Structure 1
């Protein structure tokens, strides 16, 4: 069975950037530190647009993803959704290489 990998793209309002960065840092660090089923949570900034960010997240399975969405650090991120400029773009994938964590 493959892990669940998620690629997320968000655009941030200029006046919400600092609040966004704080919220996503809380979510990122909490995810990797407190969730055994979260294998990776990277936050990346677009090289040509400093208001566009990407998240690359890898979870063991659907239960791990559900646990992530129920975690207190995810609530911090959700509370900062008003800092976003437009819709969140989410692409859900399955990992191929490297293989699952055993």
Structure 2
């Protein structure tokens, strides 16, 4: 089992979620497609909060996450999305139980 879990909450400029979603969705799909250590990358829109987007990511280990952050597609996403983001919080942890497979 195990896994390196990253949960990110983005606070966005009002009205920018659609544009931000285009960028983050591409980053999520590319990450799961080309990064061997990226096991899951979900993008979540919280109900009732149009200026927030959450990410739920699972990597094999910290090294796989570090490779993600060092990737070209992440750098493109980070640079292109910076103008939409007014705040970001990151929580990391260890996956200890998967509810269903």
Instruction: Tell me the TM-score normalised to structure 2 length.
Output: 0.87
Query: Is the partner of 1:88 in helix, strand or coil?
Result: strand
Q: Which runs of 4+ in 1 moved over 3 A?
A: none
Q: Distance in 2 between matches of 1:47 and 1:15?
A: 15
* Pairing of 1:1-102 with structure 2 (within 5 A): 2-79=2-79, 80-85=81-86, 87-98=87-98
- CA-based RMSD of the aligned residues comes to 1.7
The structure in which a higher percent of residues are strand is 2
Give the total of aligned pairs.
Answer: 98
Instruction: Tell me the TM-score normalised to structure 1 length.
Output: 0.87
Unaligned runs of 5+ in 1: none
